[in-house]
Chain A
Amino acid sequence: MKKSVIPIFIAAVLILPFLYLPVLSFADTWKYPMLVPESWSVVHWNRLFAAHRGIAPVILFSVLLSGSVALLATVVGFLMGRLLAGESGQRQIQAAGYLTYAFSPVIYAYCLQFFFLKAGISGTVAGVIVVQFLLFFPFSVIYYISHWGRELLSLEELCFTLGASRRDTWIRILVPVSAPALRTAFFQIFVFSWFDFGLTQVIGQGRVSTLSLTVWQYLAEADPYIAAAGSCLLLLPPALLMLINEKTIRFRP
């Protein structure tokens, strides 16, 4: 137990600010220097679901948007990973992938804005899906290149040797065997997209509204109570996913 004191302390320091979010969202009045709210209320949650068109359509839209991006990047990344697997030049491929992935999303979006305007997809849902795909696809490929190792390639070869068609090999063997990796990458990219702020803000041009942007709007309006309620909703999917599989979530500042 003694050995756990420091990690528990550090964990508490890391986690406390986030336990604060639901508390703030249910606080009615909370003046300085009180450590806990003086009174509680659900008024901010009511405001959140009643404000503008309501938050429910925004949540639904965000889920669909992130789901589409995650599905697209996972499937294309999986196939591209197979095409690039087991060959030389992996180092350059990884370097190219990481370079794009490490680039500041908001600056990346400004770099691409001109092309999106010319293509007529700036300020549209399609534009946001494309720009998110461009940033998250390299991550997906990097992830799957290591997945398509010698073992899986040998399995594919074995299926062909035993007379299986290409279609059967993929549908009956390769995809089921890769299901955990497909799931992990899908959830990971879903969370990246769910969290995205910079890309959607620049390419969406205020016409594409996601939960992240809505929370930002409340922050910009200096309304911390309703922003806290929105933040709770924003944090729910990744926290649940992490509970299911702690390897699912990685970091992106």
Chain B
Amino acid sequence: MLVSYRGLFYSVSLLPLLAGLAYALACSLGMAGSGAPEFTIGYWQQVLQSPETWISLFLSLAVSLVAVLIAVPVALILVLFYSEALENRVIRYILFLPVAIPPLIAAFMGAEWLGAGGMAARSVFAASGWAIPSLVNDYWHTGIILSLTLMSIPFLTIILWQYSQSEKLSGLSELATSLGASKRQILFRVAIPVLLSRALPNIGLIFVFMFGAYEIPLLLGMQSPRMISVLIAQKFRKFDLADIPQAYALTVLYALVVGIIAWLISRTKREAV
């Protein structure tokens, strides 16, 4: 009976996604969509030969990686060195409040604070008299990285803080101390490995979210190159019908990358267990 319950769950959760991807694949091969069905790999050739595709994928991966690499250490520092402050309900509320901020508002705030004449520029000017360049729509995608990082720090802090309690980190540290470990050894050989191995699937999930982020790169990114979600959405919206099959091909490519990342996460998790 379980098989049918599980089947019911898959049919509501996974089947629509798989059906959507199957349709996307069919469209990208000319077998579905507008016009008479005719098998072609032309759209895939156009997508795979376009530097725009690879730059966009690389950019999305790089931006997500940088944001995760900044956010994880900050959250670790907060949890490992300032756990007493996190016990304070007011500090915790303020620290965790950005978790309740939608990406759309985060993007808006990014534009207002980091853009030309934004609050960051005004503050620097008031303090030093210097004018700073806009960090929005910039070459290094600073605005996108900063916004994604600031959005993920509270969530990572919550996760790591919960794991530090469930894994009884203070008890483990005391045990390590009684066995003669130095503070440095406790930090790098006990605390950080325990927390990171436990939180790795969550960190991977955040990476996947960032990889497919839409609102923040849409508002804070350059026209070219664009992050993958923005590139796909813009291709879908173009009036040129030839762009639609390419958008579907890019969708399949995006799904493949997400699948590979998910597989890597599950593998790492299994090894960690």
**A contact set with B: CB distance below 8 Å:** 3-4, 6-8, 10-15, 17-18, 20-21, 24, 32-35, 80, 83-84, 87-89, 92-93, 95-100, 102-108, 110-112, 114-115, 134, 137-138, 141, 191, 194-195, 197-198, 212, 215-216, 219, 224, 227-228, 231, 234-235, 238-239, 241-243, 246, 249-253
Residues of B within 8 A of A246 (CB): 92-93, 96
Tell me, in angstroms, the Cα distance from A141 to B212 when the chains sit together.
23
Q: Is the CB of A110 within 8 A of B251?
A: yes
Q: Is the CB of B155 within 8 A of A250?
A: yes
By the criterion of a CB under 8 Å from any partner CB, how many residues of chain B are at the interface?
Answer: 83
> Is B233 interfacial (CB-CB < 8 Å)?
yes
Q: Which of B96, B215, B216 has the most CB of A within 10 A?
A: B215
Name A92's closest neighbour in chain B (CB-CB): B6
Q: Is the CB of B74 within 8 A of A10?
A: yes
Q: Is the CB of B84 within 8 A of A35?
A: no
> Closest approach, in angstroms, between the C-beta of A234 and any C-beta of chain B?
6
Contact of B155 among A6, A88, A251 (CB under 8 A): A251
Chain B, residues 95-131, CB within 8 Å of chain A (1/0): the string is 1111111111100110011000101011101100000
Tell me, in angstroms, the Cα distance from A14 to B3 when the chains sit together.
46
8 CB-based A-B contacts, threshold 8 Å:
A6-B81, A7-B78, A35-B122, A80-B8, A110-B233, A115-B23, A235-B105, A253-B206
Name A227's closest neighbour in chain B (CB-CB): B108
Q: Is the CB of B98 within 8 A of A14?
A: yes
> Is B133 interfacial (CB-CB < 8 Å)?
no
Tell me, in angstroms, the Cα distance from A216 to B155 when the chains sit together.
24
> Closest approach, in angstroms, between the C-beta of A82 and any C-beta of chain B?
10
Contact of A21 among B109, B150, B232 (CB under 8 A): B109
Q: Is the CB of B9 within 8 A of A112?
A: no
Name B124's closest neighbour in chain A (CB-CB): A33
Residues of A within 8 A of B66 (CB): none
Which residues from 214 to 249 on chain B have a C-beta closer than 8 Å to any C-beta of chain A? 214-216, 219, 229, 232-233, 236, 247
Residues of A within 8 A of B112 (CB): 17, 20, 24, 224
Given A3-B85, A95-B266, A246-B96, list of 4 further CB < 8 A pairs?
A: A4-B82, A10-B78, A114-B32, A216-B104
Q: Is the CB of B153 within 8 A of A219?
A: no
Q: Is the CB of A7 within 8 A of B86?
A: yes
Tell me, in angstroms, the Cα distance from A214 to B215 when the chains sit together.
14
Tell me, in angstroms, the Cα distance from A95 to B10 when the chains sit together.
11
Contact of A96 among B10, B104, B122, B214 (CB under 8 A): B10
Name A218's closest neighbour in chain B (CB-CB): B108
Residues of A within 8 A of B13 (CB): 96-97, 100, 134, 137-138, 141
Residues of A within 8 A of B208 (CB): 102
Tell me, in angstroms, the Cα distance from A97 to B85 when the chains sit together.
35
Contact of B104 among A99, A104, A191, A212 (CB under 8 A): A212
Q: Is the CB of B212 within 8 A of A107?
A: yes
Tally of contacts, chain A with chain B, CB under 8 A: 235
Beyond A18-B97, A102-B205, A106-B229, whether A111 also contacts B23 by CB under 8 A is yes
Tell me whether chain A's interface is mostly helix, strand or loop, or mixed. Answer: helix
> Closest approach, in angstroms, between the C-beta of B38 and any C-beta of chain A?
18
Closest 6 CB pairs of A and B: A111-B20, A104-B212, A251-B155, A195-B102, A238-B100, A253-B209
Q: Is the CB of A96 within 8 A of B103?
A: no
Contact of A15 among B98, B205, B214 (CB under 8 A): B98
Residues of B within 8 A of A13 (CB): 150
> Closest approach, in angstroms, between the C-beta of B216 and any C-beta of chain A?
8
Residues of B within 8 A of A137 (CB): 12-13
Contact of A249 among B74, B99, B119, B233 (CB under 8 A): B99
Contact of B213 among A8, A17, A191, A253 (CB under 8 A): A253
Which residues from 153 to 197 on chain B have a C-beta closer than 8 Å to any C-beta of chain A? 153-155
Tell me, in angstroms, the Cα distance from A215 to B123 when the chains sit together.
26
Name B219's closest neighbour in chain A (CB-CB): A219
Residues of B within 8 A of A216 (CB): 104
> Is B51 interfacial (CB-CB < 8 Å)?
no
Contact of B254 among A107, A112, A238 (CB under 8 A): A107
Tell me, in angstroms, the Cα distance from A34 to B119 when the chains sit together.
9
